Structure 1
Amino acid sequence: MLTGEALLSVHQRAHRNLQDLLVHCANLESGDLDRNLEGFGYPSIRLQLHHAIGAEEYWVGVLKGEILVDEDDAAYPAVKDLQAYRERVYDATRAYLADAGAEDLNTARPLTTWGGRERLLTPAFVILRTVTHLYHHQGQVTAMCRLLGKPVSGLDFPLT
């Protein structure tokens, strides 16, 4: 059984890495944040980061009975804007986890997702999915940074 406390710890550690990646990306040369690179579903670093943050916002919204979709990536033209977005989403997830009990987190229930589709989901697994999804896209961004000649390291999940 996953507790809110354990999920809060996992969430905080993942966001610590995301914050470090955003700091790294803030030092990229002008234009690199929006440079399109082939072979990635979201072709630029900025779009990768916006998607990763937005997906967490979406899934936590689903857990709260809301469909929150922020497709206006143009509203986040710079890393500082993405950092503010990350902080808002982090705070919303943290608040959700602080209020959720262990039984609620570990009991599958019908939840409405995109397009009004109802799915039987376990909230704790939804939260874990946002973390694995975040690391997937962090991997994409680190590969993109390497292609741009600006490698980043030290973003493995923190054990402490």
Structure 2
Amino acid sequence: KSLVDLKCGENIYFSTVPVPWKNAIMSFYREGENLIYGKGSKDSSKAIGHYTQLVWHSSYLVGCAVSKCPRNRMKYMYVCQYCPGGNKGFRIHRPYNRGTPCASCPDSCDNGLCPNHCPYNQNKYGDCPSLAKGDGCQKEIGLMDDCPASCRCKNNEII
């Protein structure tokens, strides 16, 4: 589950009969009803991970496919992969930044969404943005490898 150094996330939907893609995608989306933004699931027995991966702020490459497995009880497997993957444990309860549409990308807003992604893999550390300020990426040995998104995406790209 990786693409050019990008680790990808995945959602899977199973069915006994063929169903429209809308059914699979909506099953992921409906988990959003269980999410309390900034806190987590309303109930620990209710899943939110399919929803949060579906709406993850920095996932911009998405591919979906269906496979028929005739020997299985659940014969149809609908799979979507999202790159880079979301659901980072420390942030799963905040899959996107709340606020006015395009507030973080006013110069490149596209239909209410920020399209300016950072094509580099996720940062290794949470404090990479502060470490990369100024000429930190040139001064600190290894910072470019540990913080590729913060070091290489300096024009408000979404990390």
TM-score (norm 1): 0.20
Could you say which structure has the larger radius of gyration? 2
Greater fraction of residues in helix: 1
